[in-house]
């Protein structure tokens, strides 16, 4: 039984606030609430498209494709993915911090042969760019150490929407899967994840949200390094 749980274990990681954080002033410059849209607008201007026209086309694309990914805008503005990747990577290098405790945990699970995935309120390319800063992905090759990247464009919404969780867990192969969530938002990574079928949810106290005391399957932790001990204790498995 215990071996069965270990063999079917699948660990899900949130990205924002869990693996990465925005540096101070990172979100000072946005367009329509998004930090990469100004980068795309700059590139469009370099190609002779007026800022006003580029903004109009971004808004129009958002309207046409509610669950968009960044390539949708590049295509609309006839920008190449290689030039955008250079600019996107520069933004991420400049504006993102990486949490070493969760990155080490991803590497530990991966090297132990336990499948890891991400579930995030970023689109696919946005996830890859952030994971790349953690040394866990290659945005150019579209590759990573994660078996699934459960992004907004794939799931058709954000994990703050309860219905997205059932769709997300359905993607993780069999119904035998014992999924464990690691995030920083007590509501969407904790309550909603557990309601959607996650076996245990660990909520990191990163300072952005007030984290309630342990309640049922939702367990607050000060740092990610203690999670394997909790897994062993709660699920009775040796990692």
Contact residues toward Mg ion (CB under 5 A) are 14, 16-17, 184-185
* Closer CB to Mg ion, 18 or 144, in the complex: 18
Euclidean distance between CA atoms 179 and 181, whole angstroms? 7
Nearer to Mg ion, 130 or 148 (CB): 130
Handedness of CA 37, 33, 152, 156 (dihedral sign): negative
CA-based radius of gyration for the chain: 19
Kindly report the CA angle at 137 between 131 and 143, in degrees rounded to 5?
135
How near is the Cβ of 43 to Mg ion at its closest, in Å? 28
Nearest residue (CB) to Mg ion, 125 versus 185: 185
Contacts of 26 (CB under 8 A, 6+ apart): 35, 94, 95, 96
Least gap, CB of 208 to Mg ion (angstroms) = 8
- Please tell me the distance from the alpha carbon of residue 35 to that of residue 214, in angstroms, as a whole number: 34
Minimum CB–partner distance for residue 63 and Mg ion (Å):
27
Beta strand pairing status for 143-144 and 9-13? unpaired
Q: E strand or H helix at 219, and its extent?
A: strand 218-221
Least distance (Å) between residue 188 CB and Mg ion: 8
CB atoms within 10 A of CB 38: 16
Pick 122 or 185: Cβ nearer Mg ion? 185
DSSP-assigned letter for residue 191: I
Closest approach of Mg ion to the CB of residue 134, in Å? 14
Residues near 52 by beta carbon (within 8 Å), at least 6 away in sequence? none
**How far apart are CB 84 and Mg ion at their closest, in Å?**
25
Q: Which is nearer to Mg ion, 79 or 105 (CB)?
A: 105
Distance CA 216, CA 54 (A): 49
Alpha carbon distance 41, 180 (integer Å): 39
Nearer of residues 16 and 191 to Mg ion, judged by Cβ: 16
Residue nearest to Mg ion (CB): 17
- Closest distance to Mg ion from the beta carbon of 18 (Å): 5
Nearer to Mg ion, 199 or 206 (CB): 206
């Amino acid at each position: 039984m215990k071996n069965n749980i270990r063999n079917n274990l699948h660990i899900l990681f949130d990205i924002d606030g869990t693996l990465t954080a925005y540096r101070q002033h990172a979100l000072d410059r946005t367009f329509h609430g998004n930090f990469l849209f100004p980068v795309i607008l700059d590139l469009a201007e370099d190609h002779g498209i007026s800022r006003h026209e580029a903004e109009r086309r971004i808004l129009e694309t958002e309207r046409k494709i509610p669950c968009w990914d960044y390539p949708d805008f590049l295509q609309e503005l006839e920008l190449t993915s290689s030039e955008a990747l250079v600019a996107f990577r520069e933004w991420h290098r400049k504006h993102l911090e990486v949490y070493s405790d969760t990155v080490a945990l991803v590497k530990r699970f991966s090297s132990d042969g336990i499948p890891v995935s991400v579930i995030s309120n970023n689109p696919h390319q946005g996830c890859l760019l952030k994971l790349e800063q953690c040394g866990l992905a290659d945005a150019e090759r579209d590759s990573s150490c994660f078996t699934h990247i459960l992004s907004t464009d794939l799931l058709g919404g954000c994990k703050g929407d309860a219905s997205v969780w059932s769709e997300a867990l359905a993607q993780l192969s069999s119904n035998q899967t014992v999924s464990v969530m690691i995030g920083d938002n007590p509501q969407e990574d904790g309550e909603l994840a557990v309601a959607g079928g996650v076996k245990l949810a660990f909520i990191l106290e990163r300072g952005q949200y007030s984290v309630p005391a342990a309640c049922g399957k939702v367990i607050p932790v000060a740092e990610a390094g203690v999670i394997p001990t909790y897994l062993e204790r709660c699920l009775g498995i040796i990692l």
